[in-house]
Structure 1
Amino acid sequence: MPRNEGVRYHTISEVSELLGVEPHVIRYWEKEFPQLKPRRIAGRRFYGSKEIELLRRIKHLLYEKGYTISGARKVLSGDDSGEAPCREILAEVRRELEELYRSLS
């Protein structure tokens, strides 16, 4: 496993287990998100902490926030045109309204 000044690299299997997604999903995300570039040595992928953090963010945007691949790509490239803050504000307002409704019931 490659080492670089104490940085630990993980195989795709380890990252897959860590994130709770299948390896083929990670390979697909590599094709869709140009920022995601794991190190390759002898044809094997190795992910450092930056790549793992990016994968966590991609998973969060797709699975928890409900973004499409295209939408997540825009958010990660910084070209979300204010869409992400609006969604987050709406989600927060919705949560507050649901809590208020439950407390009144």
Structure 2
Amino acid sequence: MPYKEKEIEKKYFTIGEVAEQLGVATSLIRFWEGEFDIIKPKKNRKGNRQFTKEDIKNVKLIYYLVKERGFTLQGARDFIKNDVEAASNKIELIHSLKNVRNFLVTLKQQLD
């Protein structure tokens, strides 16, 4: 039986990595951190922010509400305040459906 190496999974991400994933400036993420209570990255001894996967999920939720849906900051706060988990699940579902759609469009183009 061949030996399989376990994949190393990162626990913490820098603000630069999070900003790159979303295609936004790091200053915007810092701004959102001050505006929304659900973004609470840990800070190391140097003061650098360390985002967990949960933090990234929350940042993506805010990005979706503000940038893609056009919510105001107050509107996004109210939406999240009602039910963070339900809002997050909706966002994940939407992204999954978009990925399926993109796959199907690509598949159709390849068949034509």
Tell me which interval the TM-score lies in, with the shorter structure as reference length: 0.5 to 0.7
Q: How many angstroms does 1:7 deviate by?
A: 5.4
* Cross-structure match for 1:73: 77
Two-structure CA RMSD over aligned residues (Å)? 1.3
Amino acid in structure 2 at the alignment position of 1:20: G
Runs of 4+ in 1 over 3 A off after TM superposition: none
Q: Which has the higher strand share?
A: 1
2:54 counterpart of 1:50: yes
* Cross-structure match for 2:19: 16
Instruction: State the distance in 2 between where 1:68 and 1:77 align.
Output: 14
Identity of aligned residues (%): 39
> Which of 37, 41, 56 is 2:40 aligned to?
37
Between Structure 1 and Structure 2, how many residues are aligned?
74
In structure 1, the gaps of 5 or more residues are 1-5, 80-105
Give the alignment's TM-score, normalised by structure 2: 0.63
Give the alignment's TM-score, normalised by structure 1: 0.67
In structure 2, the gaps of 5 or more residues are 1-8, 84-112
